[in-house]
A and B are shown apart, each in its own frame.
Chain A
Amino acid sequence: MIYTASPLAVGIFFSVVAMVLGISFYFGRKTKSAKGYFAAGGTIHWSVNGIAFAGDYLSAASFLGICGMIAFAGFDGFLYSIGYLAGWVVALFVVAEPLKRMGKFTFADALDSKFNSKGIRLMAAISTLIVSIFYLIPQMVGAGALVTPLLGLPHWVGVVMVGGIVTFIVTTAGMKSTTYVQFLKGTLLIIFSFILVLLVVGRGVHNEPSESYHEFITLQAELSGGSVTAVSDPSYIVEGEYIENGHHFVKLNRDSISSWWNLDAETSTLTEALSIVTLADGTVLYNGAPKDEHLFYSVGNMHEVTVNGEQVEGVSGLNAISFLAVIQESEVVRFISDVFTFGDERVRIWYQEITPGNEILSPGLKFHIDEGSSFADKMNFISLMLALFFGTAALPHVLIRYYTVPTPADARKSTIVAIAAIGFFYILTLYMGLGAMISGVLDVESSNMSAPLLAQSFGTLMFAVISAIAFATVLGTVSGLIVASSGAVAHDFIDTFLGKKLSDHKKVIAGKLAAVGTGIIAILLGIAFKGMNVAYLVGLAFAIAASANLPSILMLLFWKKTTAKGITASVTAGIISAVGLILLSPSMFMRYGLEASAAPFPLDNPGIVSIPLSFAVLIIVSLMTGDRDRTKGTPLLSD
């Protein structure tokens, strides 16, 4: 799609950025000590911390990625919302208060609170850096996706912009400014998402999404020997066809513009599709023409609207339940992607598929877990849900927020505020995603843009506000991740592992330098991973966190035979197995330009293997080293 920037959008965007920078300047002047820099002095009120938790956690993956996935795959995208929220239960009931009691600045403090082990420090620092960087990639990709429509700038500019602003926020005032940036962003995100949902539900469900929506043409085909020879409109000339895997795509030409169509063999009907064709000389054509001729349309609409068994043109003024019920009873047009080579042209096509609403609101459109799915498909799904459930309570940037409040009771209360705010937002994602799916706003090239484009259907102001908040969303989350990384480097690695015993002031300097380094790495990776769905990428970060960190946290709390060497080995095994299996997964093989089927590990998410492996390694190594290395006395929580 082609995006053009509006002055209003640019104005609101820079207002939000100015507000964020103002907060950083204000707190930057007050933050001098390491405790102030890494843990906001432990003085944040639990209610502010709770919303800041939400601001930290509701990242680009939640807002852009999940809404996009729901818009393209319905309920399967919502499964991410469910899993992300469920993980907070582990954080609240098991981890929050003990972690607060045991730690100071980083989660490595907690892991190492009974051992004073350099091995634990080193591996916890490495784990924090790896998880944070995996989590940073989707945030930066999301930032790049946003600035294109918002400011009319290329993807890489957005990535550099976020990297620069966030590094500035973190290096000026550390956790204090980060907390208030996240609080502000969390509040704005939830309020404006709620307003957007009210607008979506109030608008209702209609056959025609808008007056300007492109009406996709259908033609009757004449077939001979299974091949299309002519079509009902003689102004179109048949140029060729591509038949494979049950699909029959036909290339037609009219007025010297070539376009691709999808043939329904049963009815001999050709339906206009969207296509991006790369010619042999590298020229890229969007529906047969250069991009700036605007022949590549935004999509997403109802096929039939049914209310209480009767077909209608549309229905307005719905409520939260009836909106879902109408979609469930109706039929939706989705655009399915396929890629093939035709002569010396590389064709990417999006063809229409009419999908019953009940299938949209049930599992199976993205995760192949229905009848006919393979064992690996089902394991892939279970693996993802496992990683989401156990990942939250092991994310370093979430864990460090337990040290910004005064007491364990405050840690608990702030987690509950976070669960309420995040849970409410995740319910909103269902409406925003479905709203985008049926409002004719989808950019098939970028699922991440679904929520901002949905907002655009309510006017430029709404688009500008939502996009600016989405950008602030990225800023808030990236800030938290960079604080976590800088704490791992300055506090865990340099101060404790290397034993440099930095002064308070030097530790803050080291933290700031580490923040700059992490920011640069995040920028480079954000550019490299352009185009991947950000919710999927965050799912990988969860898998690494759940594999590397959670087994150690849980076993330290509940198993008295846990040893320092057991924890070190478990974190090491978790990191290596999770990252290794991700690199050998089908999705990454496609990223390398290879066949997905050639991937040695059949699952996209490693959690189902790497989490149990990490537990097993901890138990075995602890038992082997028990007499020499065991924690003195009792486990931290139980007997």
Chain B
Amino acid sequence: MMNHGPAVEYHESDELLKYKQKAGLRLFFIYSAIYAIFVILNTAFPRMMESVILFGLNLAIVYGVGLIVIAILLGLIYNRQCTKMEKRLDSTDVKTEGGSE
């Protein structure tokens, strides 16, 4: 009958899991800090956001678009770190359950 485990079985070493977890948390805290500063600046110093800082654009626009770009860059960095480790450890063993659709 029904089990509630994953639809696919995987085998990843503890070392790989811990590495990915640490890398993810590190990048999460970096991004959270950048996001928190953005929210604080908007709330506490809204006029500062009007300061023109780059290419004739103000801090609000540069920081806002920057947050989106940084999220993409950190995502790519995280994937590179994880993929490198997965290849190095070569320990991901994927066995698909035979199920059909």
**Is there an interface contact between A97 and B4, defined as CB atoms closer than 8 Å?**
no
Q: Cα distance A90–B47 when bound, in Å?
A: 29
Q: In whole Å, how far is B25's beta carbon from the nearest beta carbon of chain A?
A: 7
Whether the pair B99, A33 counts as a contact (CB closer than 8 A) is yes
Q: What's the least CB distance linking A307 to chain B, in Å?
A: 10
CB neighbours of B58 from chain A (8 A): 328, 358, 361-362
Return the chain B residue nearest A370 by Cβ. Answer: B46
Q: In the complex, what residues of A have CB within 8 A of residue B3's CB? A: 104
Interchain CA distance A85-B69 in the complex, whole Å: 10
Which A residues lie within 8 Å of B20 (CB)? Answer: 97
B99 proximity list for chain A (CB < 8 A): 33, 35, 41
Residues of A within 8 A of B101 (CB): 30-33, 35-36, 40-41, 43, 176
Complex contact B4–A407 (CB within 8 A): no
Q: Which of A89, A381, A426, A501 contacts B2 (CB 8 A)?
A: A501
Chain B min CB distance to A607 (Å): 12
Knowing A35-B7, A407-B8, say if A329 contacts B56 (CB, 8 Å).
Answer: yes
Contact A403 B7 (CB under 8 A): yes
B6 touches A86 (CB 8 A): no
Q: How far is the CB of B35 from chain A (nearest CB, A)?
A: 5
A329: B residues at CB distance < 8 A: 56
B35-93, CB < 8 A from A: 35, 38-39, 42-43, 46-47, 49-50, 52, 55-58, 60-61, 64-65, 67-69, 71-72, 74-76, 78-79, 82-83, 86, 92
Q: Does A519 contact B (CB under 8 A)?
A: no
User: Which of A90, A109, A407, A413 interacts with B28 by CB under 8 Å?
Assistant: A90
Separation of A105 and B2 alpha carbons in the complex (Å): 11
Chain A positions 68-123 with a Cβ under 8 Å from a chain B Cβ: 75, 78-79, 81-82, 85-86, 88-90, 92-94, 97, 100-105, 109, 112-113, 116
Report yes or no: A382 in contact with B60, Cβ–Cβ below 8 A.
no
* Chain A, interface SS category: helix
Q: With the chains together, A113 CA to B8 CA distance in Å? A: 14
Assuming the contacts A93-B25, A93-B78, A423-B68, asked whether A109 and B57 have C-beta atoms less than 8 A apart, the reply is no
Stretch in A338-346, A414-422, A477-485 with 4+ CB within 8 Å of B:
A414-422
Q: Please, which residues of chain A bring their CB within 8 A of the CB of B13?
A: none
- Is the beta-carbon distance between B68 and A85 smaller than 8 angstroms? yes
Q: A39 vs B61: C-alpha distance in the bound complex, in angstroms?
A: 39
Across the interface, name the chain B residue whose C-beta is closest to A384: B39
Given A93-B28, A100-B6, A409-B82 in contact, is the A75-B72 Cβ separation under 8 Å? no
Complex interface: chain B residues within 8 A of A105 (CB): 7
Known: A31-B101, A97-B20, A419-B71. Is A496-B2 also a contact (CB below 8 A)? Answer: yes
Number of B positions contacting A (CB below 8 A): 56
Contact B75 A416 (CB under 8 A): yes
Decide yes or no: A113 and B4 within 8 Å by CB, A32-B101, A638-B21 being known contacts: yes
Q: Which of A43, A86, A97, A358 contacts B35 (CB 8 A)?
A: A86
CA distance A378 to B43 in the complex (A): 6
Q: How far is the CA of A81 from the CA of B66 in the complex (A)?
A: 12
Task: State whether B60 touches A42 (Cβ < 8 A).
Answer: no
* Chain A 17-60 interface mask (CB, 8 Å, partner B; 1/0): 00000000000001111011001111100000000000000000
Contact A75 B55 (CB under 8 A): no
A113 and B71 contact, CB distance less than 8 A: no
- For A90, the chain B residues whose CB sits under 8 A away are 28
CB of B17, distance to nearest CB on chain A (Å): 8
Q: By the criterion CB–CB under 8 Å, are A419 and B61 in contact? A: no
- Do B46 and A41 touch (CB < 8 A)? no
- For the complex, give the distance between the alpha carbons of A33 and B60 in Å: 50
Question: Complex formed: what's the CA distance from A560 to B64 in Å?
Answer: 36
B28 surroundings in chain A (CB, below 8 A):
89-90, 93-94
Say whether A371 contacts B50, CB under 8 Å. no
**A39 vs B97: C-alpha distance in the bound complex, in angstroms?**
13
Taken together as a complex, chains A and B put the C-alpha atoms of A407 and B86 apart, in Å, by 12
A33 partner residues in chain B, CB cutoff 8 A: 99-101
Q: Which one of B61, B68, B71, B100 lies within 8 Å of A41 (CB-CB)?
A: B100
With the chains together, A532 CA to B32 CA distance in Å?
A: 31
A312 CB-CB contact with B under 8 Å: no
Q: Which B residues are in CB contact (< 8 Å) with A321?
A: 55-57
A495 interface contact, C-beta 8 A = yes
Kindly state whether residue A202 has any CB partner on chain B within 8 Å. Answer: no
Which A residues are in CB contact (< 8 Å) with B94? 406-407
Interface residue from A75, A93, A176, A495 paired with B61 (Cβ < 8 Å): A75
From residue B71, how far is it (CB to closest CB) to chain A in Å?
5
Give Cα distance in the complex from A533 to B1, angstroms: 45
A357 to B: closest C-beta gap in Å: 9
Q: A40-B101, A359-B50, A412-B79 are in contact. Are A369 and B68 (CB under 8 A)?
A: no
Q: Is the CB of B60 within 8 A of A420?
A: no
B43 touches A369 (CB 8 A): yes
In the complex with contacts A85-B71, A92-B24, A381-B10 CB distance below 8 A: no
Given contacts A104-B5, A416-B79, 9 further A-B contacts (CB under 8 A): A79-B42, A88-B75, A89-B71, A104-B6, A176-B101, A361-B61, A389-B32, A412-B79, A426-B68
Q: What are 22 A-B residue pairs whose CB atoms fall within 8 Å in the complex?
A: A79-B64, A88-B75, A89-B32, A93-B27, A101-B6, A324-B61, A359-B50, A361-B58, A362-B49, A362-B58, A363-B46, A363-B60, A369-B43, A385-B35, A403-B6, A407-B92, A409-B83, A420-B72, A426-B68, A427-B68, A495-B2, A496-B4
Smallest CB-CB A-B distances: 9 pairs: A36-B101, A325-B56, A93-B24, A93-B28, A41-B101, A42-B7, A370-B46, A416-B75, A423-B68
